[in-house]
Each structure stands twice: as C-alpha cells, then as structure tokens.
Structure 1
C-alpha cells in the first residue's frame, strides 16, 4: 500500500470503481494500469488516498511489457500493433496482400503457457485494416525467463508476414462459338475482370474466339509474348 500522490509510474493491483449518480458506475482504472500524473486527481476524487501497487521485481515483466515482446515475436512486414491494454495487443494489416504464418513457431509459443497468440489462417488474402492476430499475456506479471523462452521458441524471424499484391497484367481469352457468333451475351468476362481487380490485377488484353484450339493457343502465346503475366 502507498500514498496515491507517490504512486506515479507504479502498477495498480486492483480495479478502481467510479460512481457518478446517473452518469457512470464502473472501473475508471483497471488492475494492471500504470498510474500517470494526470490520474492522481481522479483517484483522489473517488476516495483513494492510498492504493495497492505491484512492487517492481527485476525477475518479472508487467503484462503490458511482456505483451510488447509477444508483439515483436509476431510482427513482420506490412503490419502494426495496437497499444497494449491489459496484456493484450492486436496486429493490423497495413496493406492488401497475402498473410503467411510460421505455424511451427506459433505452436511452440502457444505451448509454453501463460501467453497466447490467436491468428487468422495463413495463406489467405487480407485487406488493409484487417485484424491479423491477437496476443495476450494471461497473468498480471510474468517471469522474464518465460518471455525469453518464447523468443527462443519462435526463432529469429517474425511469425507473421503480409506479402503485398503486385499489380499483374492479365490476358483473358473468352471462348465459345455461342459467344463468338453473338448468339448469347458474354456475361462472364466482366466477372473475371472484377475478380482480378480484387487482387490489384488489370485485364490488359482480351479477345473472344470460337472453339478453335489452334486459334486459342495462338492467342494465349501472343498475350504472353506481349508481356502478360
């Protein structure tokens, strides 16, 4: 226990409830909060002349300090982490691309206990602003050697990466006698074009041909020769 005015920089070991009739009733500060100078008047206003704090220990990390380590274990290219809150950090995509995950490292870290990393499935497209993973330190404090073990288990490279889509030039050959001779409308090429656009690709060349294998082969080869991806 220590005087509230002396508690700046220390970590609360309990929730602090604020009740303002008709306005709010709930925690104004939660267990694990690091007390700042501007928090002192608020604590005094809710009758907390003294608070219980976690005493610093050189062998332990506070949950938010440890969460930052877990974030760094995970965070690869083209993503950023949220601010730590109660031992939790989220990773968010900075661009559109494909998410990859080193599953062996992820499993090794999650097997240690007292911490967890939950991710999307790797190998799928993600968009800028998508949440890729959530990390969590479970206790309020955790042994420093436990976090060192997590770093070792994960290995030297980040567990997650986002690989941005490069703009590809696509050539599309639409086939079918019924479309070539105008018997029906071609409604499928626009679908292909929109699906390509989802990944940043453009339909740079397009032709419609009858069911003539030689002509189709020649058209494909011509598109490749002209630089289509």
Structure 2
C-alpha cells in the first residue's frame, strides 16, 4: 500500500480514504465523515477535535483491497438462506439481518474456521435464537483499512463452501395435538393447567391446537388418543404427564406402542431432564415433563422452535444442550434475553 500523509490544515479538497469515527460517550458513536467525503475548510476544526492531525491518500496495488470492498465480499459469502445485508459498509462493517421471522441458525464449526483467518471477523447471535424480519443477526468486517486480497478470498471461500455460515429458518404453522395424561386430571380430581400453558406457547410461535384429549394413565387409551390425533391430521403431538419413573407413569410405553421411532428420553437441561422426543412417521412427538407446569421456561421452550423450524432433535443435540442448559430461576425472568438454552 502506498500512502501519502497530508497535514490536516493542508487537506482541503482531499477525499477521505476511510470513514472517520466520532464518539461522544453516552450520546453518539458513528461516522462523523464518510469515505469519499471531500474535505472543506469548515471540516478542519472538527477533524482536529477528533484527533486527526493528518489525513491519508491511499494508492492500492492490484493484490490489495480496501476494507469496504472486503466487507462486502465477506458479507455476500457469509449470508445463507433468509439473511440479507446492508449494501453500504459503515466504518468498514456490514450488518447482516433476518429476511424473515424464524429460527436463527449458525454453522458453529465454520464460524470458528472463518474467524481463525487473520484480519477478518464475524460475530453472530446465538444459534437457536428466535428472530423477526429486520433484526440484526450478525456483523462482519475486515479489521485493517487495507489488506491482501488473498486473505479476503480465503475467508470468503470458507463461508461459501458451507453455503453461508448463518441462516434463518421459518417456523411452520403446526396443527398440534395436546394429549393430557393423568388419571387425577381425567377423573376431575384436579384441574388441568397444562393445556392453557401449551396452547399459549404454540400460538406465540404461529401454531394452533387442533386436537385436545384427556386420558387416564393407561397404555391402550393413551395409544388410542395418539392414533386418533394422527387420523385427524395433526402434524405435531405434545403429550404431557407420565414421564417420570413411578409405576403409574406409562406414557413412554404408550408412545412406543403407537409406533414411535427415534425415541430419545432425557435431556441435559434443567428444568427438563425428563423430556422425550420421538417421531411417528414424519410427525414429531414431544413428551413434556411436569416441570413445564411449574417453571415459566423449560427445555420445551428451547426444543419447540427447533422442531417447528424442521430440525429433528437427536441424542447428540439433547446432550450438547447441557452447555447453557441450567436455568438460574431468576426472580424476574428475562428469557429469551439470557444464556439459557443457547450453548449450542
């Protein structure tokens, strides 16, 4: 890079080679002057207040690249499905945004490989975060003002090889079945509180309850309710109760009898250790533990959006959720603006 240094007092008529940042603590942080701005007499005092006693004129070689062009190349490679980016870099940085409502997904190994390349960076929200259209989900920049073009090409190739490193998966609108097990509820000895809680969670994610049944702790009757829900076209089953280890807890046996496959019982999350996930054909089945009655946020709040986004939750995922899977039971719950369920 060839660089000509000009005292700021002599810079009138010079075009700036990069954005010049201004920071006023508690008030403002951003570009006071944009790249390409032609300095005029009135700018000199402002530039001096920003500590700019010299300005620079750059002449790039063919194998060199400016931070703004580099950021655009990186953003284009990093953005996967349903992620868009600002066309104009700001201070060498480009923000990536969600193009649709849905579940934000990160290829974490690819992210690490990208960030191992010198002189580039990429920061994202956590994998599994629910986002709305227009939300910022990530940002990238080339760290120096000018760098070798080969560095940018290497970093962009890593991202492009994976079809982008970040994406947003829309949530499908499920026709859900709620099967509430428990002889005490079925016989009216206690009032059911599960159905209203689960209906609220489903509706918040754009799904609806199409089938509701109360059944006693009896394998055949639970199996029958499952089969009836499937016949009626439900494409998501939430089955509550009977997930513990008491002899009367037969829900798992009923799910198996109904033909479920890929059954995984237990997760490395608290609350929610006794969660069950399975499939009957292509229909996801979620066995909801009793903790969902007593805690505002549980494993269900982590798993349900992923299922609606088309993920098949497997044993490995349930194990990896242990990192960040301990709810702190804060007196004032801040979920989803907290680390719970965001370790993987």
TM-score tier by shorter-chain length is 0.7 to 0.9
> Does the aligned pair in 1 maintain the 2:31–2:90 contact within 8 Å?
no
Q: TM-score, normalised by structure 2?
A: 0.55
Quote the offset at 1:174 in angstroms. 1.2
Quote the offset at 1:59 in angstroms. 2.8
1:228 aligned to 2:229? Answer: no
Distance in 1 (alpha carbons) for counterparts of 2:200 and 2:28: 50
Closer, same or farther: CA 52–78 of 1 in aligned 2, 3 Å: same
Structural mapping, 1:1-229, within 5 Å: 1=6, 4=11, 6-8=13-15, 10-12=16-18, 29=32, 33-36=34-37, 40=40, 42-43=42-43, 46=46, 52-57=55-60, 58-82=62-86, 83-122=88-127, 124-128=128-132, 129-156=134-161, 157-229=163-235
Deviations, residues 38-61 of structure 1 (Å, cap 9, x unaligned): x6465256488x962332313322
The structure with higher relative contact order (CA 8 Å, sep 6+) is 1
Which protein is richer in strand relative to its size? Answer: 1
Distance in 2 (alpha carbons) for counterparts of 1:125 and 1:47: 41
Distance in 1 (alpha carbons) for counterparts of 2:157 and 2:173: 37
Q: CA RMSD for the aligned pairs? A: 3.2
* Map of 2:258 onto structure 1: none
Q: TM-score, normalised by structure 1?
A: 0.79
> Does the aligned pair in 1 maintain the 2:17–2:56 contact within 8 Å?
yes
Quote the offset at 1:34 in angstroms. 0.6
What residue ranges of structure 1 are gaps of 5+ in the alignment? 18-23
What residue ranges of structure 2 are gaps of 5+ in the alignment? 1-5, 236-344
